């Protein structure tokens, strides 16, 4: 069973979002997603300053099996990206909710995360997918 953290919000397309104390939001892909993809070999993160819409393709994660788009769970402007991923994409496999974060955004509105799934709802999505 994939790990789902209680204090994060989730998108059906298997991204997570975390509210940081300074109001910014950190985004990554879930344990289920990294497991389904397998060993990652390449990650393409958005550039700082990119304006993202909810559900818009914002990053690419490539494993030995497949290349997949990552869809932004929140609207906002990218303020920081995880540069470590370019040399070590395996950080996502090893620690998807920690060192494997993708980017941080300044959200476009303060209610950004409310529309996302909580841990229970996301777990239900995974159960329905048979994951």
In the complex with other proteins, the residue whose CB is nearer, 41 or 108, is: 41
How far, CA to CA in Å, does 118 sit from each of 38, 50, 60, 123?
25, 26, 24, 9
Tell me: does residue 127 bind other proteins (CB under 8 A): no
Kind and range of the H or E run holding 70? strand 67-71
Single residue of 6, 20, 64, 128 touching other proteins by CB under 8 A: 64
Cβ-based neighbours of 87, under 8 Å, separated by 6 or more: none
Closest to 39 in 3D by CA, of 105, 106, 93, 117: 93
Q: What residues from 27 to 46 belong to the interface with other proteins (CB under 8 A)?
A: 36, 39, 41-42
Considering only 30, 68, 72, 123, the residue that binds other proteins (CB under 8 A) is 68
Is 27 strand, coil or helix?
Answer: strand
Choice between 62 and 118, CB closer to other proteins: 62
Looking at beta carbons only, is 39 or 121 nearer to other proteins? 39
Among 51, 66, 121, 124, contact with other proteins (rule: CB under 8 A): 66
Rounded-to-integer distance, Cα 16 and Cα 26, Å: 8
Is 1 or 20 the residue whose CB approaches other proteins more closely? 1
Query: Could you list the residues that contact other proteins (CB under 8 A)?
Result: 36, 39, 41-42, 64-66, 68, 90, 130
């Amino acid at each position: 069973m994939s790990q789902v953290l209680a204090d994060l919000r989730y998108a059906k397309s298997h991204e997570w979002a975390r509210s940081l104390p300074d109001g910014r939001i950190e985004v990554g892909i879930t344990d289920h997603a990294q497991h389904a993809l397998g060993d990652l070999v390449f990650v393409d993160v958005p550039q700082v300053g990119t304006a993202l819409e909810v559900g818009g393709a914002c990053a690419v994660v490539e494993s030995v099996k497949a290349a997949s788009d990552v869809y932004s769970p929140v609207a906002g402007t990218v303020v920081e990206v995880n540069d470590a991923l370019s040399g070590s994409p395996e950080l996502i496999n090893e620690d998807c909710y920690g060192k494997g974060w993708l980017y941080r955004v300044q959200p476009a509105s303060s209610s950004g995360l409310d529309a996302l799934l909580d841990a229970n709802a996301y777990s239900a999505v995974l159960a329905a997918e048979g994951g």
